[in-house]
């Protein structure tokens, strides 16, 4: 397979061209012929103009690559090595939504040929690739795994916004449906990954390894969030506690915060779902999710208490929220817990203004029915810095005071600042 790809006799197809699929497709396309497929024609049209809708890939990253962007499934007939990088969200009831994965499997199944490889990168629960995706591939292709085609799983490890740990510099886990498949998949990925390849013994192990990466981070952050709630009741600054505790060599300096996005805030629900299917109700994972999902309400309540303490009626106040994306310096607003925070504030009839230099106003309006304003106004009763965008880090107490009226209040959810009483602002941070 690898030699045929190098000789341009065969092609790679990447299905799903978002934060994960696009960088992968472009990296493959520096060495091989690649078909970049996405079901969204508007996204494909932008990519054909060397424009990344997610604003993570720069125009010059499209230079010198052998790639064809398409929304036509028939174009996939030319491919022999398929990589699936579609979203795996949860629905309103926190149940895994496999529809994008199922549609991708059906699309590939209709063009699958003897000798082809199909590799999934989307985050799933252990068993999903073989139990949910494989039957669709076999049904729509009429082919049989092992006899006609090979299957694999290689969990994505893209870190949006990270300019240091880019795709080639992150060790890649791969797995295959048999030893031959695992070796071939390792060879193909190894041609673009400088950091090296780790071959997991089974597909299920690779799936499980990916999902627990984010479950672990979710639980560590939930612990810090719970501690932040406790320390707030004690009138202790959590950041001061973390700084002091970090002087011990084996303390892990996780920090509290809003846990959103399409990974940490979603992946635990995939493992919870599978565990419940097996008759076990996870206690620790459940607890961590409850704490992290409850943080927007905690922050909103804290602000209301501070407003009332300053003789301000919440229903007659105006609050500025700075940042809506799920993390700093990216445009991704999926599963933004800042949006949940805004909703919590609105329950108190607070007039909320939102700004974010990265988020798309159209996407925010469509996803959350909220309006982004271009620039902050003035005479705010409080400001909440919710996302740690780099451009926010240089702001001073004087700047925030200029945005607010009497008795200004600043909530710093990312602990970007260290304001004193002499700054003339009532300051609180997670």
The Cβ of residue 310 has, within 10 Å, a number of other Cβ atoms equal to 15
**CA dist list (Å): 83 to 14, 17, 210, 214, 246:** 5, 11, 16, 22, 41
Task: Tell me what pLDDT residue 160 has.
Answer: 78
Task: Tell me what pLDDT residue 105 has.
Answer: 98
Identify the three-state secondary structure at position 48. Answer: helix
Q: How far apart are CA 401 and CA 284, in angstroms?
A: 42
- Which residues are known to be catalytic? 263
Q: Give the residue carrying structure tokens 């949910």.
A: 132
Name the nearest CA neighbour of 408 among 301, 314, 306, 297: 306
Percent of the chain at pLDDT exceeding 90: 92
Name the nearest CA neighbour of 83 among 156, 191, 173: 156
Q: How far apart are CA 134 and CA 23, in angstroms?
A: 25
Residue 39: pLDDT band (50, 70, 90) is very high
- The distance from CA 137 to its chain's CA centroid, rounded to whole angstroms, is 27
Task: Tell me what pLDDT residue 110 has.
Answer: 98
Task: Tell me what pLDDT residue 381 has.
Answer: 98
Q: Count Cβ atoms within 10 A of the Cβ of residue 213 and give its class: 0-12 exposed, 13-18 middle, 19 or more buried.
A: middle
Task: Tell me what pLDDT residue 123 has.
Answer: 95
Task: Tell me what pLDDT residue 25 has.
Answer: 97
Q: At what angle do helices 267-277 and 284-293 cross, to 10 degrees?
A: 140
Q: Say how many CA atoms lie within 13 Å of 412 toward its Cβ.
A: 20
Task: Tell me what pLDDT residue 58 has.
Answer: 87
Q: Cα-flanking dihedrals φ and ψ of residue 305, to 5°?
A: -60, -40
Query: What secondary structure does DSSP assign to 315-361, as a single string?
Result: GG-EEEEE--SSSTT----TT-HHHHHHHHHHHTT-EEEEE-SSS-H
Residue 163 reports pLDDT greater than 80: no
Residue 261: pLDDT band (50, 70, 90) is confident
Higher-confidence residue of 263 and 109: namely 109
Q: At what angle do helices 361-368 and 337-347 cross, to 10 degrees?
A: 60
| Per-residue model confidence as pLDDT tens digits over 93-135 | 999 999 999 999 999 999 999 999 999 999 999 999 999 999 9
Residue 421: pLDDT band (50, 70, 90) is confident
How confident is the prediction for the chain on average, in pLDDT?
95
Q: Which pTM does this prediction carry?
A: 0.93
Q: Cα-flanking dihedrals φ and ψ of residue 257, to 5°?
A: 165, 180
**Out of 82-91, 239-248, 394-403, 413-422, least confident range:** 413-422
Starting at the edge strand found earlier in the chain, the sheet holding 380-385 runs: 351-355, 318-322, 380-385, 404-412, 426-429
Task: Tell me what pLDDT residue 162 has.
Answer: 76
Beta bridge partners of residue 117, listed in sequence order = 81, 150
Residue 363 reports pLDDT greater than 80: yes
Residue 56 reports pLDDT greater than 90: no
- Which letter does DSSP use for residue 294 in this model? T
| Per-residue model confidence as pLDDT tens digits over 220-250 | 999 999 999 999 999 999 999 999 999 999 9
Q: Which residues are CB-contacts of 412 (< 8 A; sequence separation ≥ 6)?
A: 385, 419, 427, 428, 429, 430
Task: Tell me what pLDDT residue 116 has.
Answer: 98
- All structural domains of the chain: 2-201 (3.40.50.720), 218-429 (3.40.50.720)
């Amino acid at each position: 397979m690898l030699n045929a790809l190098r000789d341009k006799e065969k092609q790679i197809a990447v299905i799903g061209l978002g934060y994960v699929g696009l960088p992968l497709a472009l990296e493959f396309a520096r060495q091989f012929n690649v078909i970049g497929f996405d079901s969204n024609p508007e996204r494909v049209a932008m990519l054909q103009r060397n424009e990344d809708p997610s604003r993570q890939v720069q125009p010059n990253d499209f230079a010198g690559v052998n790639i064809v962007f398409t929304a036509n499934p028939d174009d996939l007939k030319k491919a022999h090595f398929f990589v699936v990088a579609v979203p795996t969200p949860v629905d309103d009831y926190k149940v895994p939504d496999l529809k994008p994965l199922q549609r991708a499997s059906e699309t590939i199944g209709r063009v699958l040929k003897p000798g082809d490889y199909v590799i999934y990168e989307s985050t799933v629960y252990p068993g999903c690739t073989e139990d949910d995706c494989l039957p669709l591939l076999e049904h729509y292709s009429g082919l049989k795994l092992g006899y006609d085609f090979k299957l694999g799983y290689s969990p994505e490890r893209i870190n949006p916004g990270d300019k240091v740990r880019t795709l080639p510099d992150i060790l890649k886990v791969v797995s295959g449906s048999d030893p031959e498949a695992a070796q071939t998949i390792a060879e193909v990925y190894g041609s673009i990954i400088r950091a090296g390849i780790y071959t997991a013994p089974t597909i299920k192990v690779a799936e499980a390894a990916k999902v627990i990466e984010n479950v672990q981070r979710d639980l560590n952050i939930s612990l810090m969030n719970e501690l932040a709630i406790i320390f707030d009741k004690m009138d202790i600054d959590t950041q001061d506690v973390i700084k002091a505790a970090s002087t011990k060599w084996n303390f892990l300096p996780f920090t509290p915060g809003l846990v959103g996005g399409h990974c940490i805030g979603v992946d635990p629900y995939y493992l919870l779902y599978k565990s419940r299917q097996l008759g076990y109700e996870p206690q620790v994972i459940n607890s961590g999710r409850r704490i992290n999902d409850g943080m927007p309400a905690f922050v909103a309540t804290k602000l209301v208490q501070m407003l009332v303490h300053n003789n301000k009626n919440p229903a007659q106040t105006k609050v500025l929220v700075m940042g809506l994306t799920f993390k700093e310096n990216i445009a991704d607003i999926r599963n933004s817990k800042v949006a949940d925070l805004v909703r919590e504030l609105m329950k108190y009839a607070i007039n909320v203004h939102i700004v974010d230099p990265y988020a798309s106003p159209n996407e925010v309006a469509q996803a959350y029915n909220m309006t982004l304003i271009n620039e902050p106004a003035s005479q705010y009763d409080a400001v909440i810095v919710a996302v740690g965008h780099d451009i926010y880090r240089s702001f001073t107490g004087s700047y925030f005071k200029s945005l607010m009226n009497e008795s200004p209040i600043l909530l710093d959810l990312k602990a970007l600042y260290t304001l004193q009483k002499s700054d003339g602002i009532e300051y609180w941070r997670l």
